[in-house]
Structure 1
Amino acid sequence: MERGQGKFDYVSFKYEFPGGKIEPGEAKHTAIERELREEMDVHVSVKESDLYMTVHHDYPDFSMTMYAFYCHLDKPDFVRKEHVDAKWMAPEDMPTLDWAPADVPIMKKLSGK
């Protein structure tokens, strides 16, 4: 999903995997279910054991830790609610996009690049 213009130019108009912040008291795997409903209007099922990888990244103005999960999706249809572009693509095509730096390790592992 491609971000729009944001507070920080270094992540504006970059591609990222959907997701967001974990709410207090919320489990990581249920946070991704909620975030995908909010951002894409899709319903996925995720188990704690579906963790794919963890990425810690330091940006100039903030640091973040991301938890990437395998998500089980019933239908590929989605509604783009918060991003300027979104697409499903084959893993080997992922390196053709301009990714937010924190998402690059996930993209590289998925694409094998």
Structure 2
Amino acid sequence: MKTVKVVAAVICDSIKEKNKIFATARGYGDLKGGWEFPGGKVEEGETSQEALVREIQEELDTLIEVGPYIDTIEYDYPTFHLSMDCFYCEVKEGHLELKEAEAAKWLTKDNIDDVAWLPADVTLIDKIKADMN
């Protein structure tokens, strides 16, 4: 099975506080409409952090600061294996403008379970909730 190496940004209102996190609804493909943490594929020669900065610039027209590493999610979808490095991030410059996603919202600890997370992303939710205020 083919492995796809990706990165995901858990964008917080503040890396220190973590009162709210930013989630997007996928705007294309088989998983369209499912909620996820924004990010994308790591290109040849890039570190995970470099890929994250590039992907968020492309997808959300926003410059982020990549903060602490959270986890690497390993998940088998029917047609590929996903290996996803996840990091806390915060906005340095820009306004999180949706260029690929169909929707987005800021979620708190109280409503983080209210969206239909994609299977790989949902495995991260308990860890994030434990870190949120």
Match of 2:26 in 1: 3
Match of 1:98 in 2: 116
How many angstroms does 1:72 deviate by?
3.0
Aligned pairs for 1:1-113 (under 5 A) are 1-6=24-29, 8=30, 11-46=31-66, 50-74=68-92, 77-112=95-130
**AA aligned opposite 1:67:** D
Per-residue CA deviations over 1:30-73 (Å, capped at 9, x if unaligned) read 111111101111111225xx211110000111111011101132
**Higher helix fraction: Structure 1 or Structure 2?**
1
Does the residue aligned with 1:86 lie in a helix, a strand or coil? strand
The 2-side partners of 1:23 and 1:4 are apart by 21
How many angstroms does 1:84 deviate by?
0.6
Q: How many residues align?
A: 107
The 2-side partners of 1:12 and 1:70 are apart by 24
How many angstroms does 1:12 deviate by?
2.2
The 2-side partners of 1:73 and 1:5 are apart by 24
| Conservation of the 8 A alpha-carbon contact between 1:28 and 1:67 | yes
How many angstroms does 1:76 deviate by?
7.1
Does the residue aligned with 2:111 lie in a helix, a strand or coil? helix
**Higher strand fraction: Structure 1 or Structure 2?**
2
Aligned-residue CA RMSD (Å): 1.6
How many angstroms does 1:108 deviate by?
2.5
TM-score normalized by the length of structure 1: 0.86
| Structure 2 stretches lacking a partner, 5+ long | 1-23
Identity, in percent, stands at 36
How many angstroms does 1:102 deviate by?
0.5
How many angstroms does 1:75 deviate by?
5.3
